[in-house]
Structure 1
Amino acid sequence: MTTWLLDLGNTRLKYAPLVADGQLGAVHAVAHDDAEAWLAALPEGEVACIASVASPARRVALLDALCARFQRLHRVHTEPALGPLRIAYANPAHLGVDRFLAMLAAADGRAALVLGVGTALTLDVLGADGRHGGGRIAPSPEVMREALHARAAQLPARGGDYTEFADDTAPALASGCEGAALALIERSLRHATTLLGQVPRLCVHGGGAQALRPHLPVHDWVPDAVLQGLARWHALRIA
């Protein structure tokens, strides 16, 4: 049976097949700003498992297109508990399914701080027993830049490299917005260590993380964390 896993985010769709032993096959990514192109790129198979944090319109467009390509669709939702993971939110619907799945992928018996950088920057603390200790949500550095540019057009939305104290506007903006994110991560690591009684490993994923990675402490780079969580969800719920 051919099974595909699909992660529909705010800017792109990532998808991969399940192969032997429930592992991910080759991961594909396509931006969904061109409706015809991204829907035309969809795979075909028997079973599709879908996680979406995108707008309702994009989600419906994806599901409609998949109905013509797959025999069965499973839309994944956040659950109070699955496998070793126990989320902290009283209302599971309030926790994004991308955060839920990234934590599910990270719940391997080791304490972790799960950092996702996309449209939003998210941080979730996870005990070695799989218990979620809560999280944070902030704008990503890219969104900070775009918000400043929207309010003051003379401030460029792109450009510049991180430096501690910049000598021009573009690097000052890069340093300020990326530095704000780094400070939040450092504070979260410090408080997660206090909460857990040990230093958690830092698990990083998301398309916006690359600019931050050179300035982060030692970390695990898990670019396909949501898809890996989908693979684990499939093993626990479908297989």
Structure 2
Amino acid sequence: MTAWLFDLGNTRLKCAPLGPDGRPGEVLALAHRDADVAAALARALPARIEVAYLASVANEPLRVAVLQALAARCTRISIARTQAAFGGVRIAYAQPNRLGVDRFLALLAVHARGADAALVCGVGTALTLDLLDADGRHHGGRVAPSPMLMREALHARAPQLPETGGQYHAFAADTVDALASGCDGAALALIADSREAARVQLGHAPRLLLHGGGAPVLLDRVPNATLVPSLVLEGLAIWAAVETAT
């Protein structure tokens, strides 16, 4: 069976074939817009796919555009949903559907990787932090703008402030560097505060896992963190295995 995994975020569409071992294969990351997502998928994918597994946190027009593009080449499309309990993970939210499916799938993947507690940090359009204990219990999380979104918001309100560029410094001597330092620094401070709060809540320090397109930029400034680039696709593969079995 030819099956592919699709992680549709607000900035990128990540996709990978589902391997015979039940894990994602080589990951493709496609920048997207509503108008060109079909063309991007046509260039990246085989002509026919039997099953597509989709996790989406994107806006409705973009989600529909991706579904239409997939429907043209897929026999079946299965859309992942956040569930209160799944794969040994128990979600803290009283209304599980209000937890983004990307966060849910990342937690599934982390729990499947081992029994240690973890603080899971996603760096995409949003910066998300979720605490998972060794028993698979989700203790809740935090959501904030990512450094990329901070820069875009500043540029939108004040076009003279560039939305990219600059280097991190404790105290920058140039506006572009100051923007990079301030926006990255805000994210780093939230991660550090969440890490300490997690240590207090659990009574020990959890491992820190970073994923998402913006994670590599922060990695060198976060002590003892591990980069896990395809965590959402890993979780989607776990979800797909259960969905197929049922």
Common fold by TM > 0.5: yes
CA distance in 2 between partners of 1:188 and 1:194 (Å):
10
- Cα distance in structure 2, aligned partners of 1:140 and 1:81: 28
Secondary structure in 1 matching 2:49: coil
Structure-1 separation of matches of 2:64 and 2:38: 14
Residues 72/35 of structure 1: CA separation in 2 closer, same or farther (3 Å cut): closer
Q: Name the CA distance, whole Å, in 2 between partners of 1:206 and 1:53.
A: 13
Show the 5 A alignment for 1:67-86: 67-86=71-90
Confirm or deny: 8 A CA contact 2:105 2:232 kept in the other structure: yes
Moved more, 172-181 or 57-66: 57-66
3-state SS, counterpart of residue 24 of structure 1: coil
User: Does the 8 Å CA contact 2:216/2:227 hold for their aligned counterparts?
Assistant: no
In the alignment, the residues of structure 2 paired with residue 231 and residue 158 of structure 1 have an alpha-carbon distance, to the nearest angstrom, of: 34
In the aligned structure 2, how far is the partner of 1:155 from the partner of 1:27? Answer: 33
- Superposed counterparts of 1:197-236, under 5 Å: 197-236=203-242
Q: 2:198 aligns with which of 192, 210, 222?
A: 192
Which one of the candidate residues 146, 161, 173 is aligned to 1:140? 146
The share of aligned pairs that are identical, in percent, is 61
Which residue in the other structure is 1:27 paired with? 27
Pairs aligned (count): 239
Instruction: Give the superposition deviation at 1:35.
Output: 3.5
When residues 177 and 226 of structure 1 are mapped into structure 2, their CA distance, relative to the original with a 3 A threshold, is same
Are 1:157 and 2:163 counterparts? yes
**Residues 55, 79 of structure 2: 8 Å contact kept:** yes
The offset of 1:36, in angstroms, is 4.5
Question: CA offset at residue 153 of structure 1?
Answer: 2.4
Asked if 1 retains the 8 angstrom alpha-carbon contact of 2:150 and 2:183, the reply is yes
Give the gaps of 5 or more residues in structure 2.
none
Query: Runs of at least 4 residues of structure 1 off by over 4 A?
Result: none
Q: Which residue of 1 aligns with 2:4?
A: 4
Which of 62, 65, 78 does residue 58 from structure 1 map onto? 62
**TM-superposed deviation, 1:155:** 2.0
- Unaligned 5+ segments in structure 1 are none
Measured against aligned partners, the alpha-carbon deviations of 1:144-178 in whole angstroms (never above 9, x if no partner) come to: 11212222222222211001111111111111111
Q: Secondary structure at the match of 2:103?
A: helix
In the alignment, the residues of structure 1 paired with residue 142 and residue 27 of structure 2 have an alpha-carbon distance, to the nearest angstrom, of: 28
For 2:51 and 2:191, the matched residues in 1 are separated by 37
Alpha-carbon distance in structure 1 between the residues aligned to 2:73 and 2:21: 24
Give 1:18 shift.
1.3
CA RMSD in angstroms, aligned pairs only: 1.3
2:123/2:215 contact within 8 Å kept: yes
Counterpart of 2:40, as a letter, is: W
SS at match of 2:141: strand
Q: What one-letter code is carried by the residue in structure 2 that aligns with 1:21?
A: D
Match status 1:38 vs 2:40: yes
